[in-house]
Structure 1
């Protein structure tokens, strides 16, 4: 069976609260652990009313403390928003509290709008420093040298697997050059997926951290007892994408019966392109869809995400999805 993992944005639904979103994430993580999912990752976003995972390291600690075996991590930390030393200290702390269970995925986008990015990056020089910042961060996890002026405490000598995340060719090439595992954001930006995978695998240079390339692909999976129910549940994510592109991000909306009358043809085309890596249907359809996706792209691991309004339906979707993946 191909390893499968969960990407969670801690969604805040209409009529709910941030506190309930955190409770739902914890409940989903426990279910994922019992089912056998490999990882449970949370993503950094800011100034997004429907996403509660802004303080990503704090939420990772909360999830890790209430689970026992599943790996918990960031998918990812947007490194331009932080100093490498602070990230090393945070994840050195997490990995010291939960040895062998913490992952650190790094992205170079701000994870927000331009105004919020400026508010976050008060002393930031630019995204062009990302490769240098990644190498600085990696160095903080190495054992401290005698007389080293700046150390990550905790962090130095702590084992923290570091991943690079991306939706373009840039991070694929950087991950290959540094010998790091790579996760592609095909669940919302699939256009360059195949080219990025090919570059990563062909240019990969083994490192002390990773001997051979390891690529993870994101995919939207919405599963339910019937095809019709799954498609209706998926309208929540479709609406969220349209609202974001309209400049009206908000709380996660409930599903609707007729998405065709809700969006314009141009909006439909844009969302279908962004969410092209999606498998929606009953258990058999999801199994077939996942099998076809794996056969075509040959990922080493799948990162499943599902923005479903009803928490019970979301948990059930991940249950059905895991069963479907087990058939591959």
Structure 2
């Protein structure tokens, strides 16, 4: 097992990464604030790991709430359902919530934890690749709105993140691919050597080699922990983690949450951002091809939905959280391993790229 720390002063917390650590109660129990615990999960994950996690809580006052599975349930309605459950269970400020599942459960539970009685402790147990390498770390919590993804939320850090890479063995191929979009993102924005390494280990990762998966999760968490420690509330460096997300969130909102997985939309967004970079002479054609080829190697989409054009993208992107002074800001790679945030993207260029995508 490897341990990383997200260094945020009094809000610092560990990330545990290993094989079968969901069979080791000490990592979880040492971070509980009292003997009252409520596990929040969904129907799919509950069948796979619900009983295993509840076994770790034997002897405690532990309860479990099981929600439907899907991005469409990352909603105000689900937020209210969890709140009602906490009130019915007489949850107090020292009750610990446990988010057991992917990004939807993690974001939703974290937002509930931030709001219930003005803040209760919570622990992340991410079970998808996307949540293990990205959404479980850094304290971004939110629910979606029909007009925009993650528009209602808070920065609220967990007490710990417990990552058992064995959970990836039960992950469907499409969900695994969606997580790889976020993995590849780290190479594009921050670490050219990591990008090279991913190119060299495609087949082993597709085969879910446990040693390789632990290396991937560790490196992604290491990068994100370093960025979050420097810029917790996304006032600068952390915005780079949104590569592909401005375009991607527009796709998710237009197509209906859950019809395109988050990672699929981000993959397409990364390609669109890379094409913008090529037009600005920041990336060469060969660098764009490398990015596209790596995404395609994991079965990810690299073209926008046929029904979307410049107007449909702009309708959603104007609601993006990065908009400032009515100007849309984009994360654009300026090399493999480096990216910048800019609002200097001409609408005529966007129209040319988006209508052709």
TM-score range, shorter chain: 0.3 to 0.5
Between Structure 1 and Structure 2, which shows a larger proportion of helix residues? 2
